[in-house]
């Protein structure tokens, strides 16, 4: 009888100690730091504490190891600010990035592509009246880039987060 009672007590202790660690539901992360910040047309999500993350891609899917997995979509991203209408597509991209531009004024623009370290990768003057530009990005490393559209007067019209697969 005492033996059975001891076994039951041990089983009960194991259950009591393991059930709180079993969870079904949303993701939970233990990390040194992290956060989310959203402004108008951009969201920045970051997590500090995961040293190595590997991403694998197939033509149909993108798999990321680890807990921070951003949602990506492949529809045109458009903004209209001050009468400017700028769209980029596809994003994420592998070879070409299309930039569609409608301007309220007759003026030249400048496109600048910058990597995550702040290094300028590409700059191109866009003559007034140009409505479509294709940027070749096949040679770029996989990762995130920022594409900025700036007026000749130096005003930033808009910036886009571009994902290169």
71 within some domain: no
> For residue 64, what are the β-bridge partners?
55
Render pLDDT for 87-146 as a digit per residue (tens, 0 to 9). 999 989 999 999 998 888 788 899 999 998 889 999 999 998 888 999 999 999 999 999
Q: Note every long-range contact of 127-132, with CB atoms under 8 Å and residues 24 or more positions apart, other chains counting.
A: 128/103, 130/101, 131/100, 131/101, 131/102, 132/98, 132/99, 132/100, 132/101
157 pLDDT exceeds 70? yes
Same domain as 118, residue 39: no
The last residue of one of the domains, among 12, 37, 64, is 64
Same domain as 159, residue 87: yes
Same domain assignment for residues 160 and 90: yes
Same domain? For 45 and 111 the reply is no
Residues 141 and 96 reside in one and the same domain? yes
What does the pLDDT look like over 18-66, one tens digit per residue?
555 554 444 455 555 666 777 766 666 666 655 555 566 666 665 555 5
Say what the pLDDT of residue 74 is.
47
Q: Kindly state whether residue 103 falls inside one of the protein's structural domains.
A: yes
* 94 shares a domain with 48: no
What residue numbers bound the domain in which 41 lies? Answer: 2-64
Do 93 and 56 have their domain in common?
no
Per the structure, the count of domains in the chain is: 2
Are residues 55 and 108 located together in one domain of the fold?
no
Torsion sign over Cα 57, 63, 66, 72:
positive
Q: Rounded to 5 degrees, what angle do the CA atoms 162, 133, 91 make?
A: 25
Give the domain-ending residue among 20, 36, 64: 64
Domain boundary among 64, 95, 113: 64
């Amino acid at each position: 009888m005492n033996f059975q009672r001891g076994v039951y007590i041990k089983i009960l202790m194991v259950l009591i100690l393991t059930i709180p660690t079993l969870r079904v539901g949303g993701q939970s992360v233990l990390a040194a730091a992290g956060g989310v910040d959203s402004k108008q047309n951009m969201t920045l999500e970051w997590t500090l504490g995961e040293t190595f993350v590997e991403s694998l891609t197939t033509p149909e899917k993108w798999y990321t190891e680890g807990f921070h997995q951003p949602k990506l979509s492949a529809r045109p991203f458009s903004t209209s600010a001050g009468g400017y209408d700028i769209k980029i597509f596809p994003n994420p991209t592998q070879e070409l990035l299309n930039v569609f531009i409608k301007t309220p004024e007759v003026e030249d623009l400048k496109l600048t592509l910058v990597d995550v370290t702040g290094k300028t990768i590409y700059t191109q003057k866009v003559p007034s009246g140009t409505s479509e530009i294709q940027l070749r990005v096949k040679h770029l490393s996989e990762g995130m880039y920022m594409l900025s559209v700036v007026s000749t007067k130096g005003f930033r019209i808009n910036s886009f987060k571009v994902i290169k697969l």
